[in-house]
Amino acid sequence: MEELKPVETQSTAKKVLTALREAIFTGKLQPGQRITQTNLAKQLNVSITPVREALMTLETEQLVKLVAHKETIILGVNRKYLEDYYNTRSVLEEYLIKLVCSEGVDITKIEKAYKKMELIVKQKNYDEYNTANSEFHNAIHEAAGNNFIANFLSRISISKSAAKNTSLEKYVEISFNEHKRLIKYIREHNSEKAVNEVHNHMMRSLEDILTYYPQ
């Protein structure tokens, strides 16, 4: 079994949820695998409480099954599940970005998050990129002003969608260039190009994740 990377000590259930969902999507946690909450908490360097909360959410998504003695069975996903996931996310993300491109929307937090990503890339601190990436998307969701969609997306997100055997540096390069174009379109209030960029970003992410699930 491939062990998961620890997340920051201050992680909430949301961060644990993101880490576990990503592990399931990329096959680090394999279908049929049994694992305890204690084991997961140890790997992620968090207490059992956020792990338990995350697993309860994942069970509602039919990604895991909770059984006796605090044990969890990984149910996993297939290509159809992933296609539905990314297509749904794409529709919602495209709707929010269209709102953000409207005149008069405060994009201060988006600009701040982008500058953080830009600095991380410039300094080659690639391990910090995923957190900054999440902050950038969260800033977009907040600026759009639709809290219902923003909260829903925060619960179903994953932090990284690199293709199998893609280096972290290459993944960051691809992802950052997408965000660089997106912030440009936001500044220009060009909703058509921004929506198209978000759609392409989601579809690229889908294609990358599907490399873990050959036909």
As a whole number, mean pLDDT of residues 79-83 equals: 90
Answer for the pair 145, 164: CB distance below 8 angstroms, yes or no: no
Q: Please, which residues bridge with residue 36 across strands?
A: 71
Highest mean pLDDT pick, 18-27, 125-134, 179-188: 179-188
Q: Sorting pLDDT into bands at 50, 70 and 90, what band is 161?
A: low
Nearest 5°: the CA angle 213, 154, 190 is: 90
Q: What percent of the chain has pLDDT over 90?
A: 63
How far apart CA 125 and CA 123 sit, in angstroms, is 6
| CB within 8 Å of 100: residues ≥ 6 apart | 107, 110, 140, 143, 144, 186, 194
Confidence at residue 196, expressed as pLDDT on a 0 to 100 scale: 98
CATH architecture of 13-74: Orthogonal Bundle (1.10)
Domain boundary assignment for the chain: 13-74, 79-210
**Long-range contacts for 190-199 (Cβ within 8 Å, ≥24 apart)?**
190/101, 191/97, 191/98, 191/101, 191/102, 194/97, 194/98, 194/100, 194/101, 195/94, 195/97, 195/98, 198/90, 198/93, 198/94, 198/97, 199/90, 199/94
As a whole number, mean pLDDT of residues 97-105 equals: 97
Residue 214 has pLDDT above 90, yes or no: no
pTM, to two decimals: 0.80
**134-to-46, 137, 140 alpha-carbon distances in Å:** 20, 5, 10
Residue 186 has pLDDT above 90, yes or no: yes
Q: Which CATH number fits domain 79-210: 3.20.20.150, 1.20.120.530, 1.10.1370.30, 3.40.50.720?
A: 1.20.120.530
Q: Sorting pLDDT into bands at 50, 70 and 90, what band is 84?
A: very high
| CB within 8 Å of 19: residues ≥ 6 apart | 4, 5, 7, 11, 44, 159
How far apart CA 170 and CA 158 sit, in angstroms, is 18
For residue range 39-73, what is the model confidence (pLDDT) as tens digits? 999 999 999 999 999 999 899 888 999 998 789 99
Residue 7 has pLDDT above 70, yes or no: no
Q: Sorting pLDDT into bands at 50, 70 and 90, what band is 9?
A: very low
